[in-house]
Structure 1
């Protein structure tokens, strides 16, 4: 790459700056559309935002399948026996459950202290109630029976992410057991993964346009006046609880358990958390989350297993904090007093049922599942529906942070955390969304067996991945 090209790239605003600029511009356009009643501008912003979200969602199912299959197959390259690999997976799931338990307890404490549903004098929108009545509420039976698809191809076509996860895990374990016999299949999935991530990388570069539409549409549609004012206490409660987990719980675990500086973690993870905040999609953030974990020193082969698994089962924002606070809000709105047993059930649902959050309606599934478990009316979902896009931003950022923190904790305990990479201040490691400064390609055969490169599944063109382990 020529020196002039390198200079131009160095002068180009980073993606984080572009996103912040788009955020501000979207806010201004949304206010203009609302105050001047420019329906055409509101429609334009809504179309821009929804089109970007739809494009992101298209990549989620193939990304999840190929990433999980390849990551399970790559566990063989760790040089450990099946028992050690099983222990590694079990420890990961245990940390997922433990941190979810902490998150739901913080959500409950925040809800009990703020009492968000007291004094609310609003009524659910009739059209929203009617539309929600047509949706299938979450239930334990539906969750269990929904794990196994009736039709293999229908699971992919319908975007049934949880079923795709089950298929992916079974397929990956089978490929792991077949060893060399499955090598062509694994190589095909590696190639498919690279293609999907290349497309997703292009979408990442278009994030400012998506942010412009999403924020603009939210402001133009909902505003900040009488419609949202009664729900302000609920929104503040959710944000406070998420910030406690983000800025207190995770840093404490990183410092005490893994010996990792919280400042270093946030310096490397900030671009990813920002993208998660504005995109509201853990699945779309997956490649950047994986690379961030690797940049924090996690062995790339383990990171490519743990982070995709976390995308479907580790949702502290959507599955723990939000259902806890929203359930308290709805109970107080209807004048229902929750018992200690109800609170225990909320905790149980958050810890055990977090796998049900997979997919774009995960918050709805978990909230209706929680309401059904404690016997509250499902119509209460309509009360929080209006501000859900605003709440979903911080929920997704919290989800993604947890999906990166847990692999760091487990990697430290298993000797899979590379300190040199962790402490590196290389700019390419500080920003996982930064474009490469030189054209670099993986060594020949690096993606055929996984043992020669140890590269994580990140979008093609993002630059080199540091060797770890």
Structure 2
């Protein structure tokens, strides 16, 4: 690569790729709105192929990275009670932040009233999937076949199997040293693959953004402008203000340093719209740039990608109030409390994949007697909001990881405060 590229940080290159893709997408949409050649060879051709290869490459690393990192982290914990304490803190913190997120969203929606006076007719339909019972969620935590769980990307089952595997390695003592050495070497290889992929990210981000913005129907967004802007604003405020206050209150760490180091992860989350697919980048940033030990980060990050849905909870809160206002249904304080409780509990066992928020929203609406078909009103604008709330979700994963690591004495403050931590190791552009 050229010297100019070497002078640009990875974050800068990714940002350039993102905004360049947005600009190209806009130009293609407005200059060639009906062009078969542009659609066939660029939008659904080159951009689609490059973007999907990039996403598939990230997803390729998720299962081996989560399994290997979590096994290593678990087998280094000699006291099983420590693991229980670690898990308890993590789950409680994730549920608290989710409850705060949806409460904030409901308050903002009741105050702003995005659905007041709106008369919309939508041709979109949404058929609600049956949400699993709590008993079934607990049963499904334990895999019948761990290899099947890995093949299907069932993150909760992978986490449980990795925890049991790591605990077993810790219990057999020195006999596991050779196996532990293998996992350590395997982990180094996977993390190097993450570094390589991150250096190629600007091209993948460009292709994804160009395709998305050349296909987005902005007329729908304009018709739901008040709803769209409210959800977007609450997401940003929660991701910046709420997380900063929580982080400062629990750890005393500088929120500005945290947010600055999280920019790459946030862009990845925004582009890919999947917490699970962003795990390799999130974990690399949490452990290498924020100073969280691997034994904590390897547990909190994959678990957060599965059960921490603050961004999704915000959408559910605003959407519930919006739909109630459109259909002229008055919700009581008890109804709002039920929405908060349902959305918080529903976040457990929810897979971090695109579009899952709409499935869980159907469950929330059913709890307060609102028509599920009202989801059809907001489907048209949910794609861009889904991207934004994924950025919020991954930010929350990292924030909770820092709090848990600090409470367990597993946080390296020198690494956290070092603005250039891990940048030299990750900048392999001269080798590519």
Establish whether TM, by shorter chain, passes 0.5.
yes
> Which stretch of structure 1 is more off in the superposition, 384-393 or 395-404?
384-393
Distance 2:262 2:345 in 1: 27
Q: CA offset at residue 395 of structure 1? A: 0.8
What is the aligned counterpart of 1:345 among 330, 334, 338? 338
Matches within 5 A, 1:172-251: 172-224=166-218, 226-251=219-244
What is the alpha-carbon distance in structure 2 between the residues aligned to residue 66 and residue 184 of structure 1? 14
SS in 2 for 1:116: coil
Aligned counterpart in structure 2 of residue 49 of structure 1, from 51, 62, 73:
51
Provide the rounded CA distance (Å) in 1 between the counterparts of 2:168 and 2:365: 38
Superposition CA RMSD, Å: 3.1
Aligned equivalent of 1:112? 110
1: CA distance, partners of 2:326 / 2:140:
32
Q: Residues 146 and 91 (structure 1 numbering): CA distance in 2 closer, same or farther, change over 3 Å?
A: closer
Q: Deviations over 1:237-260 (max 9, x none)?
A: 222112222221111122222111
Matches of 2:410 and 2:344 in 1, distance apart? 26
Residue aligning to 2:290: 296
Q: Is the 8 A contact 1:298 1:411 kept in 2?
A: yes
The 3-state SS of whatever aligns with 1:206 is: helix
Q: Deviations over 1:315-350 (max 9, x none)?
A: 2112x2122122222333333332323222221123
Conserved 8 A contact 1:121-1:230: no
3-state SS of paired residue (2:348): helix
> How far did 1:10 drift?
7.5
Q: Is the 8 A contact 2:6 2:430 kept in 1?
A: no
Residue equivalent to 2:388: 394
Alignment partner, residue 465 of structure 1: none
Give, in whole Å, the separation in 1 of the partners of 2:60 and 2:231: 29
- Residue in structure 2 matched with residue 99 of structure 1 by the alignment: 97
> Is the Cα–Cα contact under 8 Å of residues 14 and 264 in structure 2 kept in the other structure?
no
Partner SS state of residue 349, structure 2? helix
Say if 1:176 and 1:395 are closer, same or farther in 2 by CA, change over 3 A. Answer: farther
CA contact (8 A) 1:103 1:321 kept: yes
Contact preservation (8 Å) 2:58, 2:278: no
User: Could you say what secondary structure the match of 1:301 adopts?
Assistant: helix
From the superposition, tell whether residues 165 and 365 of structure 1 become closer, same or farther in structure 2 (CA, over 3 Å): farther
Task: Please give the secondary structure, in 1, of the residue aligned with 2:63.
Answer: helix
**Match status 1:30 vs 2:30:** no
Cα separation, 1, equivalents of 2:140 and 2:360: 14
Runs of 4+ in 1 over 6 A off after TM superposition: none
Count of residue pairs brought into register by the alignment: 422
Structure 1 stretch displaced more, 142-151 or 284-293: 142-151
Assess, with a 3 A threshold, how the Cα gap between structure 1 residues 166 and 115 changes in structure 2: closer, same or farther. farther
Q: Is the contact made by 1:271 and 1:433 (CA closer than 8 Å) also made in structure 2?
A: no
Q: What is the CA–CA distance in structure 2 between the aligned matches of 1:249 and 1:432, rounded to whole Å? A: 31
Contact 2:80 2:167 in 1 (8 A): no
Q: Which residue of 2 aligns with 1:18?
A: 13
Distance in 2 (CA, whole Å) between partners of 1:122 and 1:49 is 34
Partner-residue secondary structure (3-state), 1:357: coil
C-alpha distance in structure 2 between counterparts of 1:179 and 1:124, whole Å? 62
**Deviating more after overlay: 268-277 vs 392-401:** 268-277
Q: CA separation in 1, counterparts of 2:28 and 2:5?
A: 35
TM superposition shift of 1:183: 4.5
Report the CA distance between 1:297 and its aligned residue: 3.4
Report the alpha carbon displacement of residue 150 of structure 1 after superposing the two structures with TM: 5.0
Post-superposition offset of 1:281: 2.8
The structural deviation recorded for 1:187 is: 4.3
What TM-score, normalized by structure 1, do the two folds share? 0.79
Superposition TM-score, scaled by structure 2 size = 0.85
Unaligned runs of 5+ in 2: none
Change (3 A) 1:116 1:15: same
Distance 1:315 1:69, change over 3 A: farther
The match for 2:74 is 72
Task: Note the 1:372-411 alignment, pairs <5 A.
Answer: 372-411=366-405
Q: 1:262/1:385 Cα in 2 relative to 1: closer, same or farther (>3 Å)?
A: same
After superposition, the C-alpha distances for 1:389-410 in whole angstroms (9 at most, x for unaligned) are: 2112221111111111112222
